[in-house]
Amino acid sequence: MQFNFELNPHSYTIRAYGPGSVTITLPLDSADPAPAAVDAIGPGASRLRQEVLTQSVVITPERLIRDWPPQALPDLAESHLQALLDLRVEVLLLGCGAQLRWPDPAVLTPLMKAGIGYELMDTAAACRTYNILMSDGRRVAAALMMI
């Protein structure tokens, strides 16, 4: 699915998602080398750079973590979420793949101890929700496993 809305050219935004991939719009003013980035045309014929990712990823408006280790929900460990605490977000969206599934509650302990809100949802819903919260100026991260 591709989104058709005004993109923020200064933030990492999710432009599209589908089975096996998520397309990220890269900030125009970023020093991110993004070797796989391609030029694209956005809404209103604006220029943008985008990258198609095929591995689990973590995205915030300011940062993109490519190849986040867990590739499927059974791979998710407490240490994977502990590593995200440095992002200093107020809410983490955990995209669990094609369908909503729940990890072992112990895995979510780092988020609970840090007082970070989290939502578990399928990856498609997490992509849509990320863009909405990001556009509202919220400190949000989406940790996405592929559909």
Predicted model pTM: 0.87
* Whether the predicted pLDDT of 45 surpasses 50: no
Question: Domains in the chain, please, with CATH?
Answer: 13-144 (3.40.1230.10)
Residues 6+ apart with CB under 8 A from 118: 91, 92, 93, 94, 108, 111
Q: Report DSSP state, residue 77.
A: -
* Whether the predicted pLDDT of 10 surpasses 70: yes
* Whether the predicted pLDDT of 40 surpasses 50: yes
Q: List C-alpha distances in Å: 17 to 44, 60, 95, 116.
A: 21, 16, 12, 26
Q: In this predicted structure, what is the pLDDT of residue 4?
A: 46
Q: Which of 28-32, 48-52, 88-92 shows the lowest mean pLDDT across its residues?
A: 28-32
> Mean pLDDT throughout 110-132?
96
Q: In this predicted structure, what is the pLDDT of residue 46?
A: 57
